[in-house]
Amino acid sequence: MKEIYFIVEALSELILPTTSTSTGNVLSWDYIPGSRFLGIAAKNLYEQLSPSERLQVFHKGNYSFGDALPVMDDRHRSYHLPLAIFGKKGTSIIEHTNYVYHKLPDQHSAPNTQLVQRRGGYITTDKFYLQVKKRFALKAAFDRETRRAKDEAMFGFESLLPGQKFIFSLRINDDNKRLTDLVVQSLEGIHSVGKSKTAQYGKVYIQTIPPPSTVSSLSEEGYLYIYVDTPIAVLNPYGHPTFEITPSLFHLPESSEIDWSKSQVRTFSYSTWNIKRTALNTERHVIVPGSVLVVTIQEEISIAELPTQIGAYRSEGLGRVVYNPEFLNGSSSGEWSWKVQSPEFPSISPTGHALAEALQSTNPLIGHLAKLKVKREREYQLYQMVHDFMESTSKSMFKRISSSQWGALRERALRWKLEKYPSESFIQYIVDDYLAEGTRAQKYWKRPIREALKKQLQTMDEDMQVDFLILLAHEMAKTAQLHREADSDVTI
């Protein structure tokens, strides 16, 4: 089997709906399904190929177009966060102890800890935890007769933000070099994916890259851990979709048995839309990526001889699995050995050659747009930093701080921003002087809270510190108000 890797850069926002419906709150995938790349190749090649070649490339599964998952660079691929990873309730996956479910001595708990399943996000081979950046927007249909927004035709779109990069692979079980070259050439370049491609959405740039690093495998006597890399769709002997998974699907010995008490599996059902027939295709029952199957093994097996793809719809990349990946390893007490960290977001500054030229342009419009771009990128970075801080900090730490306290903190930060020549540093002005005063420090802003804020502020320059604290206080005040209303409802 030959495997060719591609990197995809989102040139505009991408709308990749998880359902074929157009009403209600339509969410978007946080990755690009392999069926999108199959569609790109079919659009460019289908009419050029003979019937036998079409069958070979698009229908028999010899050419498998994988899902494109988010990455930081083209050297390390990513994987869906395994569903076997659990953590303490109220904490984030970053800088906190996490546990591997099937490694816990007691599958229901860890010592003195209430566990919840970690869901969402991706882990990379260089041990970073990634989350896809999204945006939600409301759009109104256009009434051509009245030349204004159409009544009762409002749509909500969740989209992936531009600038993000994804990696996918094309697996080829065919020796026909001509066909392989044609498929690769059909994928490279600028294409459109997802919905609303005729509007401002859907532009991507695809190019081939050298194979990135992949996760290594570990062995453990008596067990085989099967990680679901892409959705698995299984058909029963009568051709009907089913959720039933058996060891025989993986060509394992008859004595093998799936230990459901240690496995972590999620499922969902969906139907794809056939644009030629303008109708839905057969409903699919699939195992969600990130699911983990624990199989007890009585006989010695060779992982190299096991299939890396099972089930139906392999041309669309479904059915890929990884055996005994290293990121499912844990200690005897169940602690996860794959320590992940949050990626560093560089400061937004006009260092790019094109942007620097635009900022110095004598054209007023170009200069204004370049400055607006820098401003919006900085605002986005601030929102991302505030979100990460709120997610990585224990929610119970700030529970006693009222919205009025956050409002007073925001007002003091705004006062600092209006002063032209402050006599002391911002951290000293806020943390060491204001928050550490008398009863305010004893009742609300205790030392752990002040230290957490101080540590976060020290990672950025002073201008960013001020704007960060203003935005943080604004968001935390809303959160505190919601908690207060919820508590009052419970009391009533």
pLDDT in tens, 23-81: 666 788 899 999 999 999 999 999 999 999 999 999 888 999 999 999 998 899 999 99
- H or E segment and range at residue 444: none
* Contact indicator for 234, 245 with CB cutoff of 8 Å: yes
The answer to whether residue 442 scores a pLDDT higher than 80 is no
**Does 421 have pLDDT greater than 50?**
no
More confident residue, 12 or 22: 12
Taking CA 68 as the corner, what is the angle to CA 38 and CA 249, rounded to the nearest 5 degrees? Answer: 75
Q: With contact defined as beta carbons under 8 Å apart, do 348 and 374 qualify?
A: yes
Residue range 283-301: mean pLDDT, rounded: 92
Is residue 348 very low, low, confident or very high in pLDDT (cuts 50, 70, 90)? very low
pLDDT of residue 146: 85
Read off the pLDDT of residues 138-181 as tens digits, 9 standing for 90 and up.
777 778 888 888 887 777 788 899 889 999 999 999 888 999 99
Q: Which of 125, 19, 5, 20 is nearest to 64 (CA)?
A: 5
What are the b/e assignments for 399-434, b being 16+ CB within 10 Å?
eebebebbeebbebbeebeeeeeeeeebbebbbeeb
Residue with tokens 């752990």: 448
Residue type, position 466, single letter? V
Cα 250 from Cα 448, distance rounded (Å): 51
- Computed over every residue of the chain, the mean pLDDT equals 84
Residue 347 has pLDDT above 50, yes or no: no
